[in-house]
Structure 1
């Protein structure tokens, strides 16, 4: 509606913040009640369609009758004829001052009490829409526990528990209006989504894994949490080279490194992922640079997600060595791969057996075996794989399966084709792989298993 077709009533309702029919009707009822107590006859507020016509110059053919006009005149301290005039009939300087020259409404004690009761009621509702802090503390503790036991819990169990925790977060977000509680809940949602991404990947479901990682990044962005965004982008980088997009992986890893608040662990993890991506690109110079950069993260800086919570979010020396071993294999460097894989396994032997993460020990052992196969050592490879062959089916995630597939491909080299030990090992790998959850879900890793 252009200005020339508006009425003065439109101008005043807009400036007083009661332009909507609902707000106008509420104010109309309040003033009408005042007039009733003074003995005046009043009419109900105009309906929505009639109200819109009152706001349009020439919108009504007849002036509202007395009981309605009386309320409108009290509301705006102007004659009804002035209220229905077109705005373009009012001098501009008068339009500017129209609201400031109005006489203040007459207040009485009953109105003051009513306003006070409304305020008390609203504040009570706001206080009620706040979660008990113990509820949030329990949610935090459950997420920390799940993250820390990730490496010793089957991917399927992690998925179910993380799914339940994310659903709890989503329900809690609807039950609180407290901004600081929203921040805590979005952080919890980011953690749960990240764990769902990791579990989905280990189960061989790449598309859901990527979607969960993006959700984690979005939750982190909502609250401006750098470490959780960096973790999520690191996951997306990891999944990108696994899906055959190493250049995209490098870009995502570098983006992740730009988030604020990152400690040494977070940066070490991102450099290791970047090194893997460059490994797929066969860029040895960049690989060595990224591996060296990872080893230099010794400033002592920490962040709550990667260091204090840790677990799946951590990236310790054993995991770094395991990742570097895989990177060396991508460059066909069996000496470097065996050195890094052996380092990872040695570091893990210092832990209690129940605390050794299969997601690290399994891949490290397979990488060691593959490095030995590159040097023609079938018996040594079989020895390295013995602990892997004891892993139950529910633990056989994508990370292990892609490496075993690569080891199986090594056994197709001409010098192994007629060797009984090589044929026996190849058959054992095939039998082991057939029962993995990732294989049953139809997982494939077109680039990560390159030879």
Structure 2
């Protein structure tokens, strides 16, 4: 991305700070934080006593006098990709352990990064790795002892690709890819993965505003996962509660949330939980789902508001292992809803502000739908005519308009 001349003029002459897309580039180029760079120059013309950030140096952008560091990284990445292709094609008669180890590493990386980075940052690698696994399965050179492992990888990768289509608001393609993931899970005879694909079908239907379908798939998956001890069964109960809330079934919401809470005490983490990312239903995510199911019913009392604040706090640390920018935005939208229902318009505006400040690359389908719910809530109640409500509605309406599904290329 290259800033327009007007944007640069705004930085230099009008005091405007760069948006998130440009901040890390400027910090890397100049070796100081944005806050330091946008500090007023002292009147006595002395240089501010700022210490350059570690790992950056405006005086040494090159390694010695040779190749630029960024160019070294780029050409190095090309070499790694070429080596991967060599390894994947080297065992023409059989699939070697090094090949499986390479795929293990890549699957684990993609699983961990998916909820933490924009989809555009990993989408090419995700599609390529899925294709590599499919080609190995189709090639007929897989030993029986390797077949289950490769089908598990194919199911995991197809799950992530399906989630990507859902984030891009392409529900038909998302559902098709989920069925591929389910077929691979059945080939692997992995009950947890089979239940997980039912959960993804429910999730896709939920964000596509098909709550009856979302409820059906969640209920079906919950039955499959009834005797499993990992967190997938709890996720399906959370999905069931959210779908029931959209349908106005308050009794089912209470029952499903209570069952999930009771089962949390008896969880034994399984192989899916050990992967992390989208494959573990962590306590903070369970709290997020519970708050959302109650907010969708229109509740806004003080205890729920406190719980919603706790859910936001659960995703406040980006370094935490279970942090996800989408879950953080979801909890912030839910907090805004709860505060609106309690009549706290200013508090609702404060809650959703970080969501509206997200760069376009992070505005996936779920975040946009969550923000739109807040916009709809602003049209009812005594606060609907307030100036702040009108301004907030207008800002939310403009929120998705510049969202790219994926950058060109």
Task: Determine if the TM-score, normalized by the shorter chain, exceeds 0.5.
Answer: yes
Residue 344 of structure 1 is aligned with which of 311, 334, 341?
311
Residues 97-246 of structure 1: matches in 2 within 5 Å? 129-173=93-137, 174-246=139-211
Q: Distance in 2 between matches of 1:255 and 1:414?
A: 37
Segment of structure 1 superposing worse, 203-212 or 369-378: 369-378
Q: Is the 8 A contact 1:240 1:246 kept in 2?
A: yes
CA offset at residue 152 of structure 1?
1.1
CA offset at residue 206 of structure 1?
0.9
Which residue does 2:289 correspond to in 1?
323
Q: Is the 8 A contact 1:155 1:200 kept in 2?
A: no
Deviations 1:10-44 (A, max 9, x none): xxxxxxxxxxxxxxxxxxxxxxxxxxxxxxxxxxx
Which residue does 1:387 correspond to in 2?
354
CA offset at residue 400 of structure 1?
0.9
Q: Is the 8 A contact 2:317 2:323 kept in 1?
A: no
Which residue does 1:400 correspond to in 2?
367
Question: Measured at CA, do residues 224 and 421 of structure 1 come closer, stay the same or move farther in structure 2, by a change above 3 Å?
Answer: same
CA offset at residue 248 of structure 1?
3.1
Q: Is the 8 A contact 1:152 1:357 kept in 2?
A: yes
CA offset at residue 213 of structure 1?
1.0
Please give the secondary structure, in 1, of the residue aligned with 2:228. Answer: coil
Q: Is the 8 A contact 1:213 1:232 kept in 2?
A: yes
Q: Distance in 1 between matches of 2:364 and 2:128?
A: 21
Q: Is the 8 A contact 1:324 1:340 kept in 2?
A: no
Q: Is the 8 A contact 1:205 1:438 kept in 2?
A: no
Q: Is the 8 A contact 2:120 2:406 kept in 1?
A: no
- Is it true that 1:257 corresponds to 2:222 in the alignment? yes
Please give the secondary structure, in 2, of the residue aligned with 1:172. Answer: helix
Q: Distance in 1 between matches of 2:107 and 2:294?
A: 34
Please give the secondary structure, in 2, of the residue aligned with 1:152. Answer: coil
Deviations 1:100-124 (A, max 9, x none): xxxxxxxxxxxxxxxxxxxxxxxxx
TM-score after normalising by structure 2:
0.71
Q: Is the 8 A contact 2:336 2:347 kept in 1?
A: yes
- Alignment: residue pair count: 313
TM-score after normalising by structure 1:
0.65
Q: Distance in 2 between matches of 1:128 and 1:353?
A: 42
Question: Measured at CA, do residues 152 and 177 of structure 1 come closer, stay the same or move farther in structure 2, by a change above 3 Å?
Answer: closer
Q: Distance in 1 between matches of 2:117 and 2:297?
A: 32
Segment of structure 1 superposing worse, 167-176 or 401-410: 167-176
Residue 280 of structure 1 is aligned with which of 224, 228, 246?
246
Q: Distance in 1 between matches of 2:99 and 2:142?
A: 15
Q: Distance in 1 between matches of 2:321 and 2:259?
A: 32
Q: Is the 8 A contact 1:317 1:344 kept in 2?
A: no
CA offset at residue 367 of structure 1?
1.0
Question: Measured at CA, do residues 337 and 208 of structure 1 come closer, stay the same or move farther in structure 2, by a change above 3 Å?
Answer: farther
- Gap regions ≥5 residues in structure 2: 1-90
CA offset at residue 349 of structure 1?
3.1
Which residue does 2:83 correspond to in 1?
none
Q: Distance in 2 between matches of 1:414 and 1:439?
A: 37
Larger Rg: 1
Q: Is the 8 A contact 2:207 2:369 kept in 1?
A: no
Deviations 1:371-412 (A, max 9, x none): 112222221111112222221111011111111111111222
Which residue does 2:49 correspond to in 1?
none
Segment of structure 1 superposing worse, 137-146 or 175-184: 175-184
CA offset at residue 175 of structure 1?
5.0
Please give the secondary structure, in 2, of the residue aligned with 1:360. Answer: helix
**Root-mean-square deviation (Å):** 2.3
Which residue does 1:446 correspond to in 2?
none
Q: Is the 8 A contact 1:324 1:337 kept in 2?
A: no
- Is it true that 1:271 corresponds to 2:202 in the alignment? no
Q: Is the 8 A contact 1:197 1:209 kept in 2?
A: yes
Q: Distance in 1 between matches of 2:267 and 2:320?
A: 29
